[in-house]
Structure 1
Amino acid sequence: MIRSIASLARLISIARTFARHDALFPLEHMGVARPIVTLAKLASRRQATGRPGERLSAALEELGPTFVKLGQALSVRPDLVGEDIADHLSNLQDRLPPFSGDIARQTIEEEFAKPLDSLFAQFDYTATAAASIAQVHFAETHDGDRVAVKVLRPDIEARFRQDIELCLWLAQLIECIRPALRRLRPIEVVRTFETSVNIEMDLRLEAAAASELRENTENDNGFRVPKIDWVRTGRRVMTLERIDGTRIDELAALEPTEFAPRDILRQSAEAFFNQVFRDGFFHADIHPGNMFVTADGTLCPVDFGIMGRLDKKTRNYLADMLIGFLDRDYKRVAEVHFEAGYVPAQKSVGAFTQAIRSIGEPILGKPLHEISLAHLLAHLFQITETFEMEAQPQLLLLQKTMLVAEGVGRNLDPTVNMWSLARPLIEEWIILNRGPEARLRDMVTDTVTSLEQLPQFLSRAEHLGSRKPASDGHNDPVSNGQRSDWVLYGLIAVVIVLLTANL
């Protein structure tokens, strides 16, 4: 009860902020808290101009760090907010005035229970970058290593926790009074957002993500992830190798160097492809401020708070779908969705094929350098409601990451399609992972897995058959033995059928 009252009070304050920016349309569309929306309209003067997405972005920025982060999270959900609004939300600037260097020093000393001077020979008290969750200071260790030190804002955890509780309460309210919107999984959206923020607020987890990405790509030419200084990394402080380079979007600074923008674009495409398809673990926040180019032309990412992960099944689905689109085999694209379970089995394959064709033809008919795989996925997600497709958050995050990557690519060289530069890698991966030999290898692996599980099946069958049934107190050992045999034979038959299907 107290939580609901507090949430209502906070919701009224938020609604008034939305009203001042003429950005109440999300609450109106969801059909929740109508009295609050009406009161907010009456009580607040509208001062905003611009497109809906711009007005919503301005309101979220005024509401503070949690809502900026929420807006960025919703920017990868065009199925929830619409493509136009999602595009504007992706431009939300996660910047705040820095807190004092003395507070940063105090946080570092409390984290490691040591004086700052014992950790660093030199520490710049002026932050070089400041965002909603943390800020970055340059420093130098006693070994002479030049490092960047990321420090969480004071009391940031409590502020986020309070706002996330409100978002969860609102999501539960939406699912309760608007059952039609359950398909979009609003509670899961908030939980995913909560998990993402919690990861960002434990800098050990961000450091682990950077370490994993570095390990995955250590043999990739032209791409290098900064090394984590684990001795000086904790929950509220992360220290990593400092990168000296130029932002990838600062073409004027890149031109005098020995490498061409097209070379950088090719390296970017290859790095992104390797992360998504080869490793299934990719940097999901690759806006220009998070990607630098060193003097020798090496790409160096920073800020590993938002990462994406795709399992083998999802990567295979993506590969089969993209091959189908590029071959204009729209029936195969449709079948891939049914095989993956993304479209309910009772839906028409023919109708879905028709919808797929309506997406593919307008995009694939363009000149090569104008084809956008990100827009292809975006249009695909737009038909989810018609065919009762459940949202796939991991694919939505990938689509938005691809959109940002394509924008960076166009800035580097608008005459080249970045994905065409990665085509040799794509073709090699498809042959190795989706060709006839790969499919046979997968079948053999599935068969071996089934055989390894056979003893467990038999053990469970024996246990099930030996259990004494509840009866009138009489125990027939012959009947029990027969029942055990029949259960055992039945399960063996099931295993044989499964093995035969794999072969």
Structure 2
Amino acid sequence: MKPGVSAGVRLIGWGWVLVRHDALIPREIAHLLPAWLRLVTAPLRLLAGPQARAGRPGQRLGAAFETLGPVAIKLGQVLATRADIFGTEFATDLGRLKDRIDPFPLDQARAEVERSLGRPIESLFATFDAPLGAASLAQAHPATLHDGRRVAVKVLRRGIERRVAEGLDALRLGARLTRRFVPPARRLEPEAFVETIASALRLELDMRLEAAAASELGEIMAKSDYMGAPAVIWEGVGKRVLTLEWAPGEPMTRQSALEQPGLDRNLLADNVVRAFLTQALDHGTFHADLHEGNLFCAPPARVTAVDFGIVGRLDPAQRRYLAEILWGFISRDYGRIARVHFEAGYVPPHHSVETFAQALRAVGEPVVGRQASQVSMGRLLGQLFEITALFDMHLRPELVLLQKTMVSVEGVARRLNPDHDLWAAAKPVVEAWIARELGPRAQARDILMEARDVLKALSRQARQPQPPHTVIIREGPFALPVGLSLLAAGLAAAALIVTLT
């Protein structure tokens, strides 16, 4: 079967599975639809199978996603973090997709470990037990090394590469169809969005790359107290196997984890938000899959991350735009936010900066400083979508992982504390970044960097023959081009700035 035809068949299959589970347009929301759409969807409900007659919408959608495979499960994991948008019951029902998928047999996992590591399992592990949790791509087994250390061994599902490829083919076709037949969705760049997710998933399918990401992020996290990462056991790493030291605490998916004596849930929520922002802003490298299934907690507010398959990266310009936008909301400087959007190219230049700032004020003022329980995230997202449409803003594919992670992090924080103040949590991290990167000392640093570049250029110029008309300043035995006087002035200015601050 040709690739395009097989992708079409799979996409139709996705629709059929959703209809059979009454998860495409659930009966519970049918009364909210326009009359004409109710007439269209009513016959579809007649095709629903026995699995659609029981269970809540979230349970049915979770079961459908599990049937559809890893790509759909990833989507469900993101939806499960947003109880504030979809409701607590719906998000809880989808929560099983984070780490409670049906596991594959223990003997199959042992065989995969031996095949990937090229050695008998007993040569590395003193014990290797049944899985504690299973997710869309892999499952985690508790084990013990011969030196007594407890470890977690992550093993990819057999044949998962093929299932991911098939799911992505269906998504690509769906994106093309959406772009062609749904004009309002074109600015969301559906095809670029799918390719960004596809790239991240391909990296998740090689445990050696995840081990490297775990090591890199572990070093980054160690520079602050907000979040930690287990150490990599490199002799237990292969293409389809990853071994990490045991994460302290309990996984946040368990209700018992949030009931641990001495746990400060608000500080825990702060730490999750600040850890993400520190990684993104200070280092430009962040854990891009921060849902509860990948987070462990221990009193009073210790957070440990696992599952490093998806890593987001920001270049210096993107980090600056992110910090300035966040600081603009924190300080309610909507003009600054607007200018940054135009400078970054997020808003086409034919629009008015002032008008865009006015629109941002309409979104920001009802939200900043208010408790989360008083803010309708669904309404806020609706307003943002309308505003971005008015100003021809397109989805930025390079920022997809950043936006996805911000959604997940906010969802985790609000599950820990429904009244969590996201802006107050973000303020110290963003404020420190602004002071360090855009304040007087940063300006002095930039001057010194520019001075260094000038010195290098002048040094290269001095080694070349000079034309007769070149102006030279003579001082003692040295001959310097006139540009050095400007360089000296710049260095003096930099020194003055540093002294005054």
Contact 2:321 / 2:344 at 8 angstroms: preserved in 1? yes
* Amino acid paired to 1:120: F
Shift of residue 200 of structure 1? 1.5
Contact 1:66 / 1:163 at 8 angstroms: preserved in 2? yes
Pairing partner for 1:391 from 374, 391, 395: 395
Provide the TM-score with structure 1 as the length reference. Answer: 0.74
Percent of pairs with identical residues? 43
Is the partner of 1:362 in helix, strand or coil?
A: coil
Evaluate the alpha carbon distance shift between residue 63 and residue 256 of structure 1 in structure 2; reply closer, same or farther with a 3 A threshold: closer
- Of 40-49 and 7-16, the range deviating more from structure 2: 40-49
- 1:464 — aligned with what? none
In the alignment, the residues of structure 2 paired with residue 406 and residue 253 of structure 1 have an alpha-carbon distance, to the nearest angstrom, of: 19
In the alignment, the residues of structure 2 paired with residue 111 and residue 454 of structure 1 have an alpha-carbon distance, to the nearest angstrom, of: 56
- 1:360 — aligned with what? 364
In the alignment, the residues of structure 1 paired with residue 364 and residue 419 of structure 2 have an alpha-carbon distance, to the nearest angstrom, of: 21
- 1:459 — aligned with what? none
Shift of residue 137 of structure 1? 0.8
In the alignment, the residues of structure 2 paired with residue 290 and residue 134 of structure 1 have an alpha-carbon distance, to the nearest angstrom, of: 13
- 1:10 — aligned with what? 10
- 1:96 — aligned with what? 101
Report 1 or 2 for greater relative contact order, CA contacts < 8 Å, sequence distance ≥ 6: 2
Evaluate the alpha carbon distance shift between residue 15 and residue 453 of structure 1 in structure 2; reply closer, same or farther with a 3 A threshold: farther
Contact 2:132 / 2:142 at 8 angstroms: preserved in 1? yes
Q: Is 2:113 the counterpart of 1:108?
A: yes
Shift of residue 362 of structure 1? 1.1
Evaluate the alpha carbon distance shift between residue 70 and residue 273 of structure 1 in structure 2; reply closer, same or farther with a 3 A threshold: closer
Evaluate the alpha carbon distance shift between residue 161 and residue 402 of structure 1 in structure 2; reply closer, same or farther with a 3 A threshold: closer
- 1:469 — aligned with what? none
Is the partner of 1:137 in helix, strand or coil?
A: strand
In the alignment, the residues of structure 2 paired with residue 378 and residue 211 of structure 1 have an alpha-carbon distance, to the nearest angstrom, of: 39
Q: Is 2:227 the counterpart of 1:228?
A: no
Evaluate the alpha carbon distance shift between residue 164 and residue 75 of structure 1 in structure 2; reply closer, same or farther with a 3 A threshold: farther
Q: Is 2:164 the counterpart of 1:154?
A: no
- 1:195 — aligned with what? 199
What 5-or-longer segments of structure 2 have no aligned partner?
Answer: 27-39, 461-493, 495-501
Is the partner of 1:9 in helix, strand or coil?
A: helix
Is the partner of 1:385 in helix, strand or coil?
A: helix
- 1:475 — aligned with what? none
In the alignment, the residues of structure 2 paired with residue 379 and residue 223 of structure 1 have an alpha-carbon distance, to the nearest angstrom, of: 33
In the alignment, the residues of structure 2 paired with residue 74 and residue 266 of structure 1 have an alpha-carbon distance, to the nearest angstrom, of: 21
In the alignment, the residues of structure 2 paired with residue 164 and residue 212 of structure 1 have an alpha-carbon distance, to the nearest angstrom, of: 28
Contact 1:249 / 1:411 at 8 angstroms: preserved in 2? no
1:46-445 → structure 2 map (5 Å cutoff):
47=52, 58-72=63-77, 91=94, 93-94=97-98, 95-124=100-129, 126-178=130-182, 181-221=185-225, 223-248=227-252, 257=261, 260-294=264-298, 298-364=302-368, 366=370, 379-380=383-384, 382-393=386-397, 395-414=399-418, 417=421, 419-421=423-425, 423-439=427-443, 441-442=445-446, 445=449
How many residues end up aligned between the 2 structures? 441
* Amino acid paired to 1:44: L
Provide the TM-score with structure 2 as the length reference. Answer: 0.75
Q: What does the per-residue CA deviation read over 1:419-468, in whole Å, with 9 as the maximum and x for residues that have no partner? A: 42553343222111122442454466468669979999xxxxxxxxxxxx
In the alignment, the residues of structure 1 paired with residue 377 and residue 46 of structure 2 have an alpha-carbon distance, to the nearest angstrom, of: 45
Is the partner of 1:121 in helix, strand or coil?
A: strand
Is the partner of 2:198 in helix, strand or coil?
A: helix
In the alignment, the residues of structure 1 paired with residue 417 and residue 15 of structure 2 have an alpha-carbon distance, to the nearest angstrom, of: 43
- 1:493 — aligned with what? none
- 1:29 — aligned with what? none
In the alignment, the residues of structure 1 paired with residue 174 and residue 430 of structure 2 have an alpha-carbon distance, to the nearest angstrom, of: 43
Give the RMSD, CA atoms, in angstroms.
4.1
Shift of residue 241 of structure 1? 0.3
In the alignment, the residues of structure 2 paired with residue 375 and residue 398 of structure 1 have an alpha-carbon distance, to the nearest angstrom, of: 21
In the alignment, the residues of structure 2 paired with residue 392 and residue 314 of structure 1 have an alpha-carbon distance, to the nearest angstrom, of: 11
In the alignment, the residues of structure 2 paired with residue 53 and residue 97 of structure 1 have an alpha-carbon distance, to the nearest angstrom, of: 17
Evaluate the alpha carbon distance shift between residue 262 and residue 115 of structure 1 in structure 2; reply closer, same or farther with a 3 A threshold: same
- Of 233-242 and 46-55, the range deviating more from structure 2: 46-55
Contact 1:185 / 1:391 at 8 angstroms: preserved in 2? yes
What 5-or-longer segments of structure 1 have no aligned partner?
Answer: 27-36, 78-82, 457-502
Contact 1:23 / 1:55 at 8 angstroms: preserved in 2? yes
